[in-house]
Amino acid sequence: MSDATLTPMPTNPLASELEGGRRTQPCSLVIFGASGDLTKRKLVPALMGLAKDGLLPNAFSVVGFARRPWGDDEFRAELRDGVAQFGRSETVASFDRRADAFSYHQANFADPAGYLSLRQKLDELDRVRGTRGNRIFYLATPPSAYSDILQQLAATGLSREQRGRFSRVIVEKPFGHDLDTAVALNEQVRAGFSERQVFRIDHYLGKETVQNILALRFANGIFEPLWNEKYVDHVQITVAESIGVGSRGGYFEESGILRDMIQNHLLQVLTLVAMEPPATLTADAVRDEKVKVLKSIRTFEPGEVPGATLRARYTAGLCAGEEVKGYLQEEGVPADSRTETFAAVKLQVHNWRWAGTPFFLRAGKRLPRRVTEVAIHFKKPPHALFDNGRDPNPNILLLRIQPDEGVSLRFGSKVPGPDLRIRDVRMDFRYGTAFGGETSDAYERLLLDAMAGDGTLFARRDEVEEAWRIVDSIHRGWHTGSTPLFEHAAGTWGPEEADFMLGSGRTWRKP
């Protein structure tokens, strides 16, 4: 029995969508940089997760395009090992059943001959595997290779769509290094692909709990009426990592946490939290509202940056019970580095819904634990009746994106006994408990959407450029102003000074 005929697991939301009429077409997926870790650890395990759940078409093929001198057998062996290590349960069997769908194409990214022979290979796959001329090109390479690949796809006609056939390109982050490079890259993409053919991928948007932000807001009548400046005091969005930069010191030195995490992951989550209800759930209707949020965030003047941002780096300390070195001692980091590994930013969304309600974003490495969450802090009651008139704690609606996916609500409840004493309690929803089964990997959802031509969870050109506009203004302020670079010990929640930027009576949550 082929994977495409297997009955989808009822607990898999992607399978439910397939049953609801959302279909993928036969196609060939070309992965540029297929010998790298992303293909082995994420892309092929995700494809096999889809295959296991019956979500891949029978007529499907994968071509790995890279410079390493491999043959098909070596390529398949490497991919099978990746599925065994990083895939969901039972996906190795799915790979074994579909191993002949994977082939390898050795070529240099800048060599026109490699693309002409690729075209011939894809035409042959259309005949042999029935992929009907539909192609998806995945740029799983360092950004330095994007230009060559995009130019050659356009020059050889591989980017052109023919009647009844699609051609799409998936571009991994980072999408540019600043606004100027993002605009230049967008122009390169546009030379070969129309915007509807382009899928700029941010794996955070494929996470179930990120998508659930829209469901929580717009499928429940009790939340949306409170989702505004009248009732919300402030919002905290946190992406914390317990790991350091490891062997990526050279890359990280060029980006820093602001560009590496806040420009994409955190700003994307912010748009989902702050956006207005879209007229429909079509890709452009959703992305139009997200762009409106970004346009409502003003560019910082250099003199405003020190009061609205904070940057720091980790020093040696104790993380998860282990002594770890500081950032300046990491491989590839120069001794005179001024790169931040922790950043906190206060943003204002200047529109009717959010006027006066600050959004606080923070991201960092070598923090106490790995966690991503959104905390909606509601305003306190106007008058304290209980506990001798002491101010009660505010209600918090917590959206946990990882690792313990779910939603919780903190509210006050009376402690049993004769006195009217209030204690915080929590209502808790967890994905694993409520739905059971395995949660689909983010890449599964995003690859499925790309095959279906649904760009809702992918960044549009104007989203990327508006996010860079905001981040670039912060960087200019850091490098032309007097914003200090603080330090904090590894295994702590950042420098103490970070609390000061929240204002009186507010503190960062300790997840």
Please report, as a single letter, which amino acid is at residue 12: N
* Helix H or strand E encompassing 285: helix 283-295
* Helix H or strand E encompassing 170: strand 167-172
Q: Answer left, alpha or beta for residue 53, where phi above 0 means left and psi between -120 and 50 means alpha.
A: alpha
139 touches 36 (CB < 8 A): no
Residue 268 is encoded by which pair of tokens? 């994307």
480 touches 303 (CB < 8 A): no
Please report, as a single letter, which amino acid is at residue 503: G
Q: Which residues lie closer than 8 Å to 447 by C-beta, 6 or more apart?
A: 43, 46, 47, 50
Residue from 105, 203, 234, 265 carrying the catalytic annotation: 265
What's phi and psi for 66, nearest 5 deg?
Answer: -160, 175
Report the C-alpha gap between 287 and 198 in whole angstroms: 14
231 touches 394 (CB < 8 A): no
Name the one residue in this structure whose structure tokens are 């490079």.
181
In the 8-state DSSP scheme, what is residue 384?
-
Q: Report the largest interatomic distance among the alpha carbons of the chain, rounded to a whole angstrom.
A: 84
Report the C-alpha gap between 176 and 283 in whole angstroms: 23
297 touches 470 (CB < 8 A): yes
Nearest to 104 by CA among 90, 121, 116, 89: 121
Residue 378 is encoded by which pair of tokens? 């509601």
- The yes-or-no answer on residue 265 being catalytic is yes
- Composition of the chain by helix, strand, coil, percent to 5: 40, 20, 35
Report the C-alpha gap between 465 and 380 in whole angstroms: 37
Please report, as a single letter, which amino acid is at residue 472: D
In the 8-state DSSP scheme, what is residue 311?
E
Residue 132 is encoded by which pair of tokens? 């009907």
DSSP, residue by residue, 390-454: PPPPPPEEEEEEESS-EEEEEEEEEPSSSS--EEEEEEEEEHHHHH-SPPPPHHHHHHHHHHHT-
Nearest to 408 by CA among 202, 212, 200: 212
Give the orientation angle of helix 72-86 with respect to helix 91-98, to 10 degrees: 160
Give the orientation angle of helix 146-155 with respect to helix 112-129, to 10 degrees: 60
490 touches 244 (CB < 8 A): yes
Return the active site residues: 265
